Amino acid sequence: MDSATRDTSDKDARGEGYRVLARKYRPSSFDDLIGQEPMVRTLGNAFTSGRIAQAYMLTGVRGVGKTTTARILARALNYEPKDGEGEGPTLDISEPGRHCAAILESRHVDVMEMDAASHTSIDNIRDIIDSVQYRPLEARYKVYIIDEVHMLSKSAFNALLKTLEEPPDHVKFIFATTEIRKVPITVLSRCQRFDLRRVDAQALVTHLSRIAETEKVEADADALAMIARAAEGSVRDSLSILDQAIAHGGGSVDAATLRAMLGVADRARIADLFEALLRGDTARALELFDNLYAEGADPVAVLNDLAGFTHTVTRLKAIPEAATDAALSEDERTRGAGFGQVLSMAALNRAWQILTKGISEVDQSARPRDAADMVLIRIAHAATLPDPQEAARILREGGGTSGSSSGAPSAGGGGGGPGGGAMASGGGSVMASGRGGASLAIATRSDPAPAAVATAQAAPAPQVRRLKHFEEVPALCAEHRELRLKHDIEGFVRLVRFDPPRIEFALEPNAPNNLVQEISGRLSEWTGERWIAILSRENGDLPIRAQRDQAARAEMDDVLRSPLVRAVKESFPDAEVVSVKTLAELSAPDGEPEGLAPADDGDEEDDFE
């Protein structure tokens, strides 16, 4: 929707009362739609080539423009310029035509709209079936728009099937639904389906900014980004929130006012809470949560925001380029990227799992605040525990036999001080900047808990063996006398990427089922560092054995093309070259090379090597 495009029936312009932004800036042509370019391109090609379907099914979440698109499509099907020189259906409807205003205002005699939520019975469909036989009175087509079509009864759907499959040439059907799975497949198979996508945050922010400028409303960039996040891809929801925010802020929209209106927490304070939790600082985390609760933040909303920030940090760790997302606030962009560099994926994943389970617990609890406290304490305590790899290392070194070997913090710490910490990808500790310039240390994986630290100091560090080339993997198998695994790796593994301690490969069709897990486990055991084996969809290189066979065939071809061998073959036509040996192999100290036959004087059928 272009921000300057207004509904042709804008009553506000005629002084007939206020018109909400969601209706005032409703699209009137395909040029005004935002985020639905694939659908517009498909319809444009179909209209240009004359391949216009008899029925359309528009589906998507609430507020993405299904009903609006249906009206625009009805307008395009019946478009006639006011000068009367139209050539047929077209998507070029930037200028209002003869029927446009009536269609967009739902008052055209040949464009019938029906809400299936309140007209579900077979009798309503019979009225449509009876009326399709009559030609349109004014327009080119009779268009039936049925909104929320999934609400029709089973008998109503069945009654519609025959007419939908073979409608008269002058009839078109347009259906809209948010529950596409509830529509019978027999109906879907008779329609051309378009899935209207959620509008991405960047497009929503740009759209809201244009509307705010048109409305002469001052709006903060952070506030618009917050609205885009809250709308979850729905244009109508974003405009409704903006409308409410303008009224709430007295004609201006700022982040603080919007947070108070929506009951969400300050993103910077959510980042502070996240940092305290992942440091294992329970006391600080509960203090921050108490402050947010006292200011009116809902416990479920705080946990949802915390889960959202955890997701943001995880995405920024996996995809650093995601920091350019317009929906992110400055705190999320800068501090999220910093946390992504410091925290391990295991720590982030653990926090996410506790939060997703905890949100439902808090939502169903009779004491939501107390339940939220318990969720936060659970996260802070888990942050002080070693990850599975660290725990396995401690057990291998004999640290798991003592009574306090669980990795829990000591009684004096209780998980509430800065001595705990979330695991990170390397040793040492990293400083993360907090609010007001204060620096807070986040302990890394080498400091999982006091008991674990004491055990690690008592035992010598394991020897780490680093591999540089994939060819070293089967050699390592041979060194540990795992000949079967060596055979499987050389015969079935198609290497895609080798980036120690990470290996990505595809497998031959007849490869053993557990080969991926076995490679990962053996390499982790033999090298002293955790290896990640990933099964790829790419084809990868040929297996090592196939490469050797290919090289041997190429070498044999080179030998057969040499002048000397060709001369011998001419002298001894029945002779056959069975293998190729280098001078180094021939001079090997272990006696006569394998496969070399003794000379047989007078026999012209010798094999040459």
Q: What is the pLDDT of residue 319?
A: 86
Lowest mean pLDDT among 85-89, 191-195, 350-354: 85-89
Taking each helix axis from N to C terminus, what angle separates 221-231 and 235-248, rounded to the nearest 10 degrees?
130
Which tokens sit at 599? 């000379």
- Tokens standing for residue 81: 């310029």
pLDDT band at 384 (very low <50, low <70, confident <90, very high): confident
Q: In this structure, are residues 493 and 515 in contact, taking their beta carbons and an 8 Å threshold?
A: yes
What's the mean pLDDT in 574-601? 58
Q: Tell which wins on pLDDT, 485 or 342.
A: 485
pLDDT at 524: 85
**pLDDT recorded at residue 170:** 92
Query: Looking at residue 69, what is its pLDDT?
Result: 92
CATH of domain 472-544: 3.30.300
Assign 549 to helix, strand or coil: helix
166-175, 325-334, 483-492: segment of lowest average pLDDT: 325-334
pLDDT computed for residue 444 by the predictor: 38
Share the mean pLDDT of the chain. 78
pLDDT at residue 449, as a whole number: 41
Q: Considering the chain, what percentage of its residues have pLDDT values greater than 90?
A: 22
Region 244-261 average pLDDT: 81
**Which segment of 53-67, 132-146, 320-334, 400-414 scores lowest on mean pLDDT?**
400-414
* pLDDT tens profile 10-42: 444 444 567 888 888 888 888 888 888 889 999
Q: Could you state, in order of their start, the residue ranges of all structural domains in the chain?
A: 33-195, 201-262, 267-458, 472-544
Q: Is the pLDDT of residue 313 over 70?
A: yes
Angstrom distance (rounded) from CA 604 to CA 576: 11
pLDDT for residue 59: 92
pLDDT at residue 119 in the model: 85
At the topology level, CATH places domain 33-195 in Rossmann fold (3.40.50)
Query: In 10 A of CB 28, how many CB atoms?
Result: 26
431-443 tens-digit pLDDT:
344 433 333 444 4
Is a pLDDT exceeding 50 seen at residue 517? yes
pLDDT given at position 12: 45
Predicted pLDDT at 558: 80
Please identify which residue in the block is written with the tokens 């991926």.
516
Q: Give the CATH class of 201-262.
A: mainly alpha
Q: Is the pLDDT confidence value at 79 over 80?
A: yes
More confident residue, 460 or 581: 581
* In the predicted structure, residue 406 carries a pLDDT above the cut 60: no
Q: What is the DSSP string of 17-81?
A: S---HHHHT---SGGG--S-HHHHHHHHHHHHHT---SEEEEE-STTSSHHHHHHHHHHHHT---
What is the pLDDT at residue 227? Answer: 87
Instruction: Write down the pLDDT at residue 401.
Output: 40
- The DSSP element (H or E) to which 195 belongs, if any, is strand 192-195
Tens-place pLDDT, residues 526-558: 888 888 888 877 888 888 888 888 888 887 878
Of 108-112, 193-197, 556-560, the poorest mean pLDDT is in 556-560
Q: Please tell me the predicted confidence (pLDDT) of residue 248.
A: 83
pLDDT: which is higher, 458 or 339: 339
pLDDT digits (tens, 9 = 90+) for 409-428: 333 333 444 334 444 433 33
In this predicted structure, which of 172-181, 472-481, 550-559 has the lowest mean pLDDT?
Answer: 550-559
Confidence of residue 463 (pLDDT cuts 50, 70, 90): low
Sequence letter at residue 508: E
Q: Residue 360: pLDDT above 50?
A: yes
pLDDT at 460 > cutoff 80: no
Q: Residue 437: its pLDDT value, please?
A: 39
In order of 24, 260, 414, 486, the CA distances from 249 in angstroms are: 20, 10, 44, 70
Question: Largest Cα–Cα distance of the chain, in whole Å?
Answer: 118
Q: Which of the four pLDDT bands, split at 50, 70 and 90, describes residue 586?
A: low
Phi, psi of 598 (to 5 degrees): -65, 155
pLDDT greater than 70 at residue 214: yes
Secondary structure in 3-state letters for 98-147: CCHHHHHCCCCCCEEEEECCCCCCHHHHHHHHHHCCCCCCCCCCEEEEEE
The dotted CATH code for 267-458 is 1.20.272.10
